[in-house]
């Protein structure tokens, strides 16, 4: 089961910093996971309705919606990072 991490305002809005999910067999890519989370509705629905506002890392490497996810992955969602 993948470990899902939430950072910054995502953590604050969801009221949790992590969760473990059992992925259905049709969730094989980041885009599928985003859809699954969005379909939960509520805060999840609002956050994941605009995936351009959320960045993702799989196993501590930046990822895209087309990247694969596997049952033993660590998947982190966080806002875009800016420097300065």
Pairing, β 74-78 against β 55-58:
antiparallel
Is residue 84 in some structural domain? no
CATH code for the domain in which residue 49 is found: 3.10.20.30
Is residue 72 in some structural domain? yes
Is residue 25 in some structural domain? yes
Interval 21-27 mean pLDDT: 94
Model pLDDT, residue 84: 56
Domain that holds residue 19: 3-78
Q: Give the whole-number percent of the chain exceeding pLDDT 90.
A: 86
CA dist 62 and 59 (Å) reads 8
Is residue 83 in some structural domain? no
Model pLDDT, residue 83: 59
The pTM of the full predicted model, rounded to 2 decimals, is 0.92
Domain count, the chain: 1
**Is a pLDDT exceeding 90 seen at residue 82?**
no
Which band of pLDDT confidence, cut at 50, 70 and 90, is reported for residue 56? very high
Which band of pLDDT confidence, cut at 50, 70 and 90, is reported for residue 1? confident
Is residue 65 in some structural domain? yes
């Amino acid at each position: 089961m993948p470990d899902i991490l939430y950072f910054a305002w995502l953590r604050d809005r969801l009221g949790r910093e992590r969760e473990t999910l059992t992925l259905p067999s049709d969730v094989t890519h980041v885009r599928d996971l985003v859809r699954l989370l969005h379909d939960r509705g509520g805060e999840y629905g609002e956050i994941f309705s605009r995936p351009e506002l959320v960045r993702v890392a799989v196993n501590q490497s930046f990822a895209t919606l087309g990247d694969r996810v596997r049952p033993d992955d660590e998947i982190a969602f966080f806002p875009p990072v800016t420097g300065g």
